[in-house]
């Protein structure tokens, strides 16, 4: 599951299995002072919680590298607190808890594709496409004559997520939403 890696071989995006949990390397810097031994200064992000920590290691110190498996999966349906995905290669179905998916649940519709990051059998992250097209389930109709530049109104998407849209967007319209920020981009 995990292999040993030297701090001299650290790379951005590499995942480490530390005693505190799984951490992804955000940045690292090799420092060789005039006196004393060389060391590596790192900035690490907790894969599960997103918390960032700074750590310093001796040069050539051994750490456990976690092997993260990236699997492309299709979202099939929701079953209580679980979202059921199908592996695009093996066609196996896998229930995933909503907590493991984070904010991605706001943009999941049946048939959507997502990349799940697996550590063993545990889902430790999810990557959605940069934008998704969703249908407006309900919103107030735009008032005739209300032409304020840049005015917005709340709209509920088919997933239940609320997004601010321009006044001309109506119920039933398809809109493109940025999955990273959760903001309206354009009508589809």
Cα 78 from chain centroid (whole Å): 19
Give percent above pLDDT 90 in the chain. Answer: 27
12-28 pLDDT per residue, tens: 888 999 888 889 899 99
66-83 pLDDT per residue, tens: 888 889 999 999 888 899
Q: How confident is the model at residue 62 (pLDDT cuts 50, 70, 90)?
A: very high
Note the pLDDT of residue 143.
66
Of 32, 49, 66, the position where a domain reaches its end is: 66
Note the pLDDT of residue 1.
53
**Does residue 7 share a domain with residue 58?**
yes
**Does residue 95 share a domain with residue 59?**
no
173-183 pLDDT per residue, tens: 999 999 888 88
Contact at 8 Å (CB) between 27 and 14?
no
Other C-beta atoms lying within 10 Å of the C-beta of residue 157: 22
Of 66, 89, 106, the position where a domain reaches its end is: 66
Note the pLDDT of residue 86.
93
DSSP states along the chain: -EEEEEGGG--TT-EEEETTEEEEEEEEEEE--SSS--EEEEEEEETTT--EEEEEEETT-EEEEE-PEEEEEEEEEEETTEEEEEETTT--EEEEEHHHHGGGGGG--TT-EEEEEEETTEEEEEE--SEEEEEEEEEPPPPTT---TT-EEEEEETTS-EEEEETT--TT-EEEEETTT--EEEE-
Q: Among 10-24, 83-97, 119-133, 138-152, where is mean pLDDT lowest? A: 138-152
**Does residue 135 share a domain with residue 123?**
no
**Distance between terminal CA atoms of the chain?**
43
* Domains: count for the chain: 3
**Does residue 56 share a domain with residue 7?**
yes
Model pTM score: 0.73
109-138 pLDDT per residue, tens: 888 899 998 888 888 888 888 888 999 988
Note the pLDDT of residue 144.
61
Domain that holds residue 37: 2-66
């Amino acid at each position: 599951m995990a292999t040993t890696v030297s701090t001299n071989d650290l790379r951005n995006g590499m995942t480490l299995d530390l005693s505190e949990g799984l951490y992804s390397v955000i940045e690292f810097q090799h420092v060789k002072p005039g006196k004393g031994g060389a060391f590596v200064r790192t900035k690490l992000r907790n894969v599960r919680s997103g918390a960032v920590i700074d750590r310093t290691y001796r040069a050539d110190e051994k750490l456990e590298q976690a092997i993260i498996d990236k699997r492309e999966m299709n979202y099939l349906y929701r079953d209580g607190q679980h979202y059921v995905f199908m592996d695009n290669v093996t066609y196996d179905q896998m229930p995933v808890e909503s907590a493991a998916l984070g904010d991605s649940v706001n943009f999941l519709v049946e048939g959507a594709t997502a990349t799940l990051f697996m550590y063993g059998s545990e889902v430790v992250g999810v990557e959605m496409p940069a934008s998704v097209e969703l249908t407006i389930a309900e919103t107030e109709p735009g008032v005739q004559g209300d032409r304020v530049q840049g005015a917005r109104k709340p709209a509920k998407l088919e997933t239940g997520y609320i997004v601010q849209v321009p006044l001309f967007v109506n119920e039933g319209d398809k809109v493109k939403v940025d999955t990273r920020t959760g903001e309206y981009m354009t009508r589809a």
